[in-house]
Amino acid sequence: MAGRNGRTVRDLRRGNRTAVLQRLYFDGPLSRFELGPATGLSSGSVSNVVADLIADGLVEEAGSVDSDGGRPRTLLRVAPHSGQMIGVDVGETRVRVELFDLALTELARTERPLTPQGYDVDVIVGHIRDGVAEVLTAEGAAPERLLGVGVGVPGIVEHTADRGAVVHGQTIGWDAVPLERLLQSPEPPGPVRYFIDNGAKTLGQAEMWFGAGRGARNAVVVLFGSGVGACLVTPEVEHGRAVEWGHLTVRVRGRRCRCGASGCLEAYAGAESLLARWHEAGGRPPRNADEETALTAMLAAAYPADGATADPVALGVLEETAEYLGAGLSDLINLFQPERIIVGGWAGLQLGSRFLPDVRRHAATYALRHPADKVTIELGRLGPDAVTVGAAILPLADFFAGGGRRPAPESEDRLPAWRAALRERAPR
């Protein structure tokens, strides 16, 4: 039966379960007494919901605390082993697949390296499906508890009613690839719910929930890898919006970008172009090395240990790259006036603290003074696994949206609900 606002009793119960689960997840352990003010539910509703969640094995006791003169209050938490999620990072150099419990403790992982021509759709689909099957056979895996598989990909992701998630990845040669439909198969690991989104966006989601973005309402999370991208989080777009920041024009008639245009930021600031510019300037990147190894060598040449003389070519290219990145960040500052900019991605973390002071200085130089004075620019805190953690958050958000219920893979679409659940914030 529906009420005046169109909500049924079932909707109300699901909403109450969602409220309790989210508060226990982000703020727990909490007592039943504390859950009332935290969720806005009456004590009777809290008791009923908690009893249901305990009966379902989703909530468990976690000790007790003394009350003011009364009996000790039992603390509750979300049971970490009651569900599992898989996060997938379709990166520039590898496809990484990780299995997590509800507390986002890693249970298993596998990686599939990619060649420079490794973005063949069938190859990527095979890597994802094989990786999912592999981690589900690892010790501690419980396929019957799997909430779903989140996948972070390069490019623009469009969610459609007839083909599911469709990926537009111009830089990797993907034109309207129906990735979600391609991943579904009756073969092992069997029917699985897939949740697909932009990789910079999943990185941003992870940092906002658990990393350097905790407590911020207005932030930009930057993914600095082989290319560059960004995710904007504002009060108006709280679940995050992927921004094709790497294809902002920073130089008219400049270097050719891998997207086909000229003068893009990515053509100067991505790791791929950074290493190419080092080579063009007379540097000597190690032969037949992957990008991460080559960037490590470049850093060692530019910032040698033991007081050795720096390679002026490597140092010059890195300093120029810091200026391009700073100028690119200044555009984000002027446009969105964030309180924080968080730099992640394997290349951003690898360049790390040596690189960041110069980037901050150039960003402040190019940006308007007032918004520049209010922003902080810092490194992400979740390391190179941030994209997989953020991807795993996608099925976790769906789990919250359903009040802890696990729909079958072929069940009704809950896309609006799980995307809305991403707006939840960890406590400030």
DSSP state of 256: B
CA distance 96 to 114: 10
Report H helices in 57-146: 121-135
The token duo for 167 is 């990926």
CA distance 323 to 325: 5
* Lowest-pLDDT choice from 97-101, 166-170, 240-244, 275-279: 240-244
* Lowest-pLDDT choice from 1-15, 102-116, 121-135: 1-15
Percentage of the residues of the chain whose pLDDT score is greater than 90: 52
What is the total residue count of the chain? 428
CA distance 398 to 57: 18
Residue-level pLDDT at 106: 94
Q: What dihedral angle (degrees, nearest 10) is formed by the CA atoms of 195, 200, 201, 205?
A: 100
Please count the other Cβ atoms lying within 10 Å of the Cβ belonging to residue 54. Answer: 14
Rounded mean pLDDT, 281-296: 88
Q: Mapped to the 3 state alphabet, what secondary structure does 362-413 carry?
A: HHHHHCCHHHHHHCEEEECCCHHHHHHHHHHHHHHHHHHHCCCCCCCCCCCC
Residue-level pLDDT at 412: 46
Residue-level pLDDT at 124: 93
Residue-level pLDDT at 169: 87
Torsional class of 63: left (φ above 0), alpha (ψ -120 to 50), beta (otherwise): left
CA distance 328 to 359: 10
Q: At what angle do helices 346-366 and 271-280 cross, to 10 degrees?
A: 80
Q: At what angle do helices 271-280 and 312-336 cross, to 10 degrees?
A: 140
The pLDDT of residue 148 is above 70: yes
Locate tokens 């490194």: which residue? 379
Residue-level pLDDT at 6: 60
Q: How confident is the model at residue 297 (pLDDT cuts 50, 70, 90)?
A: very high
Q: At what angle do helices 346-366 and 312-336 cross, to 10 degrees?
A: 70
CB 363 within 8 A of CB 330: yes
pLDDT by residue (tens digit) across 301-344? Answer: 998 887 788 999 999 999 999 999 999 999 999 999 999 999 99
DSSP codes of every residue in 331-342: HHHHHH--SEEE
The pLDDT of residue 410 is above 90: no
Q: How confident is the model at residue 117 (pLDDT cuts 50, 70, 90)?
A: low
Residue-level pLDDT at 1: 45
Pairing between β-strand 84-90 and β-strand 94-101 as defined by DSSP bridges: antiparallel
Torsional class of 173: left (φ above 0), alpha (ψ -120 to 50), beta (otherwise): left
Residue-level pLDDT at 35: 92
Rounded mean pLDDT, 211-228: 88
Residue-level pLDDT at 308: 84
CA distance 127 to 179: 13
Residue-level pLDDT at 284: 87
pLDDT by residue (tens digit) across 69-112? Answer: 667 888 999 999 999 999 999 987 889 999 999 999 999 999 99
Q: How confident is the model at residue 4 (pLDDT cuts 50, 70, 90)?
A: low
Residues 6+ apart with CB under 8 A from 144: none
Nearest to residue 50, comparing CAs of 40, 66, 64, 61? Answer: 61
Residues 6+ apart with CB under 8 A from 378: 212, 340, 341, 342, 343, 356
Residue-level pLDDT at 358: 94
pLDDT by residue (tens digit) across 358-379? Answer: 999 999 999 999 999 999 999 9
The token duo for 198 is 């932009």
Q: What dihedral angle (degrees, nearest 10) is formed by the CA atoms of 51, 102, 132, 188?
A: -10
For residue 254, count CB atoms less than 10 angstroms from its CB and return exposed for 0-12, middle for 13-18, buried for 19 or more: middle
Say if residue 409 is preceded by a cis peptide, omega within 30 of 0.
no
The arrangement of strands across the sheet holding 146-153 comes to 106-113, 94-101, 84-90, 146-153, 194-198
Q: What is each CA distance from 61 to 22, 33, 396, in whole angstroms?
A: 16, 14, 21
Percentage of the residues of the chain whose pLDDT score is greater than 70: 89
Say if residue 29 is preceded by a cis peptide, omega within 30 of 0.
yes
Residue-level pLDDT at 239: 58
Average pLDDT taken over every residue of the chain: 87
Q: At what angle do helices 291-302 and 346-366 cross, to 10 degrees?
A: 50
pLDDT by residue (tens digit) across 188-204? Answer: 556 789 999 998 889 98
The separation between the first and the last C-alpha atoms of the chain, rounded to the nearest angstrom, is 38
Rounded mean pLDDT, 351-359: 88
